[in-house]
């Protein structure tokens, strides 16, 4: 490798080893190269120091700009933990619960046997326990005016059962007392047996609102209908007066074709 000359050392600083070799090789003439190398190092260090100062000032200037932009900042206090109350599930609406209880309460069984009751007689009349038998006799004689009637002709068993429950429920709301339920004589049934006749009586004895019933008089439907007496209560409807009977809404079965 060719020895490094003084002209080349002016362009780049010499390393300590190169300076020692230059002094040994060139003697006093190598001092010039040493001086140039030191000057170059001093210039480089000064440039680095100036660059560091400029960078620091720029950083401070940027911080001042940001601080002036956001204004004064107040330190946040320690956040206070507020326990959130547990939200209970929405309660079941009262009316919905009452309706469901009413449906269960009013469910009528087909397996109920009215013949098992003590207060029945051969005329298929019924008197709830605690009610005087005189009530049935008065009902049979027509002491109460029929205020509403339900015709179950053509209905299937399930349809008839639901219709009867709804009929009695509405009658209680209206404050009615005496009802007529037409179940038919079963002349069109298989074996000419009145299917609904026994079912209707079995359903009626399960209704707490029913205190008595009996087979209708001949002009009220005879063996094809039953007169039902409900216990007092519900909305007053002047049910004790014959003029309360609405002939327009409740046609006599004799008027049917």
Cβ-Cβ contacts under 8 Å for 70 (sequence gap 6 or more): none
Res. 109 pLDDT band, cuts 50 70 90: low
Round to whole Å and give the CA distance between 180 and 220: 8
pLDDT digits (tens, 9 = 90+) for 208-234: 999 999 998 888 888 889 999 998 875
Tens digit of pLDDT for each residue in 78-96? 666 777 788 777 666 666 6
Q: How far apart are CA 40 and CA 10, in angstroms?
A: 8
By the 8 A CB rule, do 194 and 163 touch?
no
Q: Is the pLDDT of residue 39 over 70?
A: yes
CA 42-29-20 angle, 5° bins: 65
Query: Tokens 């004689």 appear where?
Result: 141
The answer on pLDDT for 247 being more than 50 is no
- Among candidates 180, 167, 239, which has minimal Cα distance to 207? 167
* pLDDT given for residue 195 in this prediction: 76
Tokens of 24: 């040994």
Confidence band, pLDDT 50/70/90 cuts, at residue 252: very low
Q: What percent of the chain lies above the pLDDT cut of 70? A: 60
Going from N- to C-terminal start, the domains of the chain cover 9-69, 108-255
Please report which confidence band the pLDDT of residue 194 belongs to, taking 50, 70 and 90 as the band edges: low
Q: Give me the helix-helix angle, 157-174 and 195-204, nearest 10°.
A: 40
Q: Hey, what are 173's tokens?
A: 């709301």
Task: Tally Cβ neighbours within 10 Å of residue 106.
Answer: 17
pLDDT interval class at 46 (50, 70, 90): confident
Residue 249 has pLDDT above 50, yes or no: no
* Runs of H (alpha helix) within 11-128: 16-26, 30-70, 94-106
- Give the CA diameter of the chain: 156
Domain 108-255 = CATH 3.30.1370.110? yes
pLDDT band at 177 (very low <50, low <70, confident <90, very high): very high
Average pLDDT over all residues of the chain: 73
Please write the tens of the pLDDT for every residue from 64-74: 777 777 777 67
């Amino acid at each position: 490798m060719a020895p490094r000359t003084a002209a080349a050392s002016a362009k780049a600083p010499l390393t300590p080893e190169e300076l020692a070799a230059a002094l040994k090789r060139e003697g006093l003439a190598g001092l010039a190269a040493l001086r140039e190398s030191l000057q170059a190092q001093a210039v480089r260090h000064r440039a680095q120091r100036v660059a560091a100062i400029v960078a620091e000032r720029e950083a401070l200037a940027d911080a001042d700009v940001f601080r002036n932009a956001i204004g004064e900042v107040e330190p946040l206090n320690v956040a206070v933990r507020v326990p959130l109350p547990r939200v209970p599930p929405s309660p079941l609406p009262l009316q919905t619960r009452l309706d469901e209880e009413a449906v269960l309460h009013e469910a009528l069984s087909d397996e109920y046997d009215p013949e098992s009751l003590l207060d029945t007689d051969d005329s298929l009349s019924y008197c709830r326990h605690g009610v005087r038998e005189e009530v049935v006799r008065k009902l049979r004689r027509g002491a109460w005016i029929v205020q509403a009637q339900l015709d179950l002709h053509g209905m299937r068993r399930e349809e008839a059962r639901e219709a009867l429950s709804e009929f009695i429920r509405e009658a209680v709301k209206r404050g009615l007392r005496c009802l007529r339920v037409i179940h038919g004589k079963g002349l069109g049934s298989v074996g000419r047996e009145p299917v609904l006749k026994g079912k209707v009586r079995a359903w009626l004895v399960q209704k707490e609102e029913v205190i008595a019933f009996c087979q209708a008089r001949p002009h009220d439907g005879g063996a094809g209908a039953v007169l039902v007496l409900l216990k007092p209560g519900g909305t007053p409807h002047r049910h004790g007066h014959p003029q309360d009977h609405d002939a327009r809404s409740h046609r006599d079965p004799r008027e049917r074709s």
